[in-house]
Structure 1
């Protein structure tokens, strides 16, 4: 029963995060048997709400795989995927979803570590001042 509840929660989460659900209308490009693009002519002329979002494949050879979309060409209705793309070519008739989950990778370590180092230094200085103050009988 617990697995069924988990599956229902996952399905509900995906439903809420779905910005678009479509079916590919042409075979996408494949490089070294990896699906690097997908095409849905129903998106032709639409604004780019896809770039930077996550594409989830719901059927076909790459079912249950997800990749980030790096670009969308509204003239050709082609979505280009990050990296090597999916493990298989995305063929016509494949069901997919565009999820409102950012696929942009950000390296936050330098910013966070810099702030943590500043905070640690500030704490060290405050403690040093406090201990020195108390040792001299001023506190």
Structure 2
């Protein structure tokens, strides 16, 4: 018999929710999320990761002074578009755009993306048409481009 998933990933899948399912009503509940790193904001003691999955986006918060060393190093080595699994507790946060965030204490990098792309999939840095066409699959992830189709 072939085991397709490691036991830890199988365990995380039991508590898995999608980004759209992370709502204030889940306040205090432990969840697992799988998705792509959309954006990283490192503020020293706090690291914010915007996680994107098929349903939308969710903000993940890592409180660096409360994490194990292995988790800290994994967070510091994250790159945009890496595929990750995070586990944490849902917390209501009025300051957050979505009104809720996940305070994570576990992370598993399932696939690390190349460190630097010529193209910024978030759209914060403008790119020429030749670069946009070369990275068309990433360009289609931007909401304003996706809405055209």
- Normalised by the size of structure 1, how large is the TM-score? 0.28
Q: Which has the higher strand share?
A: 2
Identify the structure with bigger relative contact order (alpha carbons < 8 Å, sequence gap 6+).
1
- Determine which structure has the larger helix proportion and give its number: 1
Structure with larger Rg: 1
